[in-house]
Structure 1
Amino acid sequence: MMVPSAKLRLRKNILPKNLPDLSACIFLCVAMPTVYWFEIFIVSPTLFDWPLYIFHIILGTFVLVNVAGNFLAIMFVETSTKRLVLPSQVPKGWHVCAECESVAPPRSRHCNTCKACILKKEHHCIFTGCCVGLSNHRYFFVFLIYIWLSTLYCSGLNIFFIWPYVGGLTWWALIRLLLPGIWLVWNPCFETLYAFLFSINFIGFLFLTVLVFYYTNLIFNNVTTQENNSGNPTNLYDQGSRKENVKVALGKRWYLTWLFPTVWSPLPYDGFEWSIPYSDRGTQSVRPKCK
Structure 2
Amino acid sequence: MSSILLKVENKIATITLNRPEVFNSFNREMALSLQGILDDCETNEDVRAIVLTGNGKAFCAGQDLKEVTNPELNPGFKKILEEHYNPIISRIRNIEKPIIAAVNGVAAGAGANIALACDVVIADEKASFIQAFSLIGLIPDSAGTFFLPRLIGFQKASALAMLGDKVSAEEAERIGMIYKYVSSEEFSNTIDSIAAKMANLPTIALGLIKKTFNKSLTNNLTEQLALESKNQIEAAGSEDYAEGVSAFIEKRKPNFKGN
TM-score by length of 2: 0.25
TM-score by length of 1: 0.24
Relative contact order (C-alpha < 8 Å, sep 6+): which is higher?
Answer: 1
Q: Whose strand proportion is higher, 1 or 2?
A: 2
Q: If you compute each CA radius of gyration, which structure gives the higher value, 1 or 2?
A: 1
